Amino acid sequence: MKIVLATSNQGKVREFQSWIHAYEVVAYSDIMEPFEIEETGVTFKENALIKARAVYEKLSDKNDIVLSDDSGISVPLLGGAPGIYSARYAGVTASSSDNLNKLIATLKEHGVEKTPAFYTAAIALVCVKGAFCVHGWMHGEAIAEARGNNGFGYDPMFIPCGYDKTLGELDENVKKAFSHRARALELAYIVLNSLK
């Protein structure tokens, strides 16, 4: 039994592979031809389940467990945007730097240098015993500039609570200690251990 990650985001793959040691972890594209999965849900949970179910359907070994992550950054000043649309914020074909630059430009349009923001991660697990979903959050501030190259996505503009540097500048262990994804993964372990 191994964990198959239903994601095409290499930043997520890197984090899950470096954080999960109790199981063999592979990206789904290592064991099948990658395919388009439409994220038609209106919540992180719905989209996480859509991605995990789509990959589980195509698995040849149904004893494997599929793990997906649907995540994003929400800015209360912007009514929660980009939220579940974080990966499509600057358009459906946008790169992560397009999205980052759009959020920086939007904050500047609102005349703010920093504003409260939070990340959400929904992790779905789909296996022979059913489908499960857990969540995690990380609070902090979004700033109207990009600093540092660590992490991925919006990390260069996100300062976690209790720090004065962005996740782009901070050591990777900070994300491992209390990121939205790390917190959701802690809960996912409870589900995983009960599936054994």
Ligand X SMILES: O=c1nc[nH]c2c1ncn2[C@H]1C[C@H](O)[C@@H](COP(=O)(O)OP(=O)(O)OP(=O)(O)O)O1
Q: Binding site for substrate: which residues?
A: 7-12, 71, 152-155, 175, 180-181
3 token code pair: 């964990």
* Cβ proximity to ligand X, 123 vs 193, nearer residue: 123
Report the residue from 13, 67, 84, 87 that binds Mg ion according to the rule CB under 5 A: 87
Footprint of Mg ion on 13-32 (CB under 5 A): none
Q: What x/- string results for residues 48 through 87 when contact with ligand X is judged by CB under 6 A? A: ---x-----------------xxxxx------------xx
Count of residues near Mg ion by CB under 5 A: 1
Exposed e or buried b per residue across 54-64, where buried means at least 16 C-beta atoms within 10 angstroms of its C-beta:
bbbeebeeeeb
Residue 121: strand pairing partners? 71, 136
CA distance 71 to 185: 13
Q: 122 by DSSP, 3-state: which? A: strand
113 token code pair: 């240098």
* Cβ proximity to ligand X, 44 vs 194, nearer residue: 44
* Cβ proximity to Mg ion, 88 vs 114, nearer residue: 88
- Decide if 70 is catalytic: yes
Residue 143: strand pairing partners? 114
Give binding residues for Mg(2+) as ranges. Answer: 38, 70
